Amino acid sequence: MYSISKHLLVAILFFASLPLSASAQERTPQQQAEVEKLQIAIDDFFKGLSSPTGAEQAFNTLVGKGPLKDKKDLAPLIAKAATLEDKYGRYTGHDAASIKTLGNDLVILRYLYKGERFPTVWHFYYYRPAMGVALTPKDWNLIEIRFDTNLDGLDK
């Protein structure tokens, strides 16, 4: 009985050490370079969000010609983002909170947007459609963007 328990313990420890999902795996250099390009676009978005041209221009630049361009729930999100300074104080910066790469075609980025009085958490979901006719990867599309004040789980 002792040897069975010992083998079971070894098996449990082995499986516990394995990555739970694709997000736990390290990114390839190519994936890292692609994530860095997405991060530059998000950095520009936050700078634009706090500029005199404001939320609408920042969202239009970030969304571009992607699938969110004509989504009806984008306008209320832009209006909500335009009230950030009134609700949470002047923008003082932002930090990447987490970056998850799921497979080769989905990237989830969470950012902490720092206001003088309170932060907000922004969630950006990028998807890359299947290979094009020329068998080259298509461009990344922002497929979801949202923000809230829920700081739960930010440390994970």
Domains annotated for the chain, with CATH where assigned, are: 26-148 (3.10.450.230)
The whole-number pLDDT of residue 136 equals 57
Instruction: Tell me what the pLDDT averaged over the chain comes to.
Output: 81
Which pLDDT tens digit goes with each residue over 95-143? 999 999 988 889 999 999 999 999 999 999 999 887 655 555 578 899 9
The encoded tokens of residue 86 equal 């009134």
Report how far residue 17's alpha carbon sits from residue 89's, in angstroms, rounded to the nearest whole number. Answer: 43
Confidence of residue 44 (pLDDT cuts 50, 70, 90): very high
Q: Is the pLDDT of residue 5 over 60?
A: no
| pTM, 2 dp | 0.78
The whole-number pLDDT of residue 54 equals 87
Q: Is the pLDDT of residue 2 over 50?
A: no
The whole-number pLDDT of residue 15 equals 39
Give 23-28's long-range contacts (Cβ < 8 A, gap of 24+). Answer: 23/100, 23/101, 23/102, 25/101, 27/101
Report how far residue 14's alpha carbon sits from residue 30's, in angstroms, rounded to the nearest whole number. Answer: 30
The whole-number pLDDT of residue 123 equals 96
Q: What is the mean pLDDT of residues 59-85?
A: 89
Q: Is the pLDDT of residue 7 over 50?
A: no
Q: Is the pLDDT of residue 20 over 90?
A: no
Report how far residue 112's alpha carbon sits from residue 121's, in angstroms, rounded to the nearest whole number. Answer: 5
The whole-number pLDDT of residue 22 equals 38
The whole-number pLDDT of residue 104 equals 84
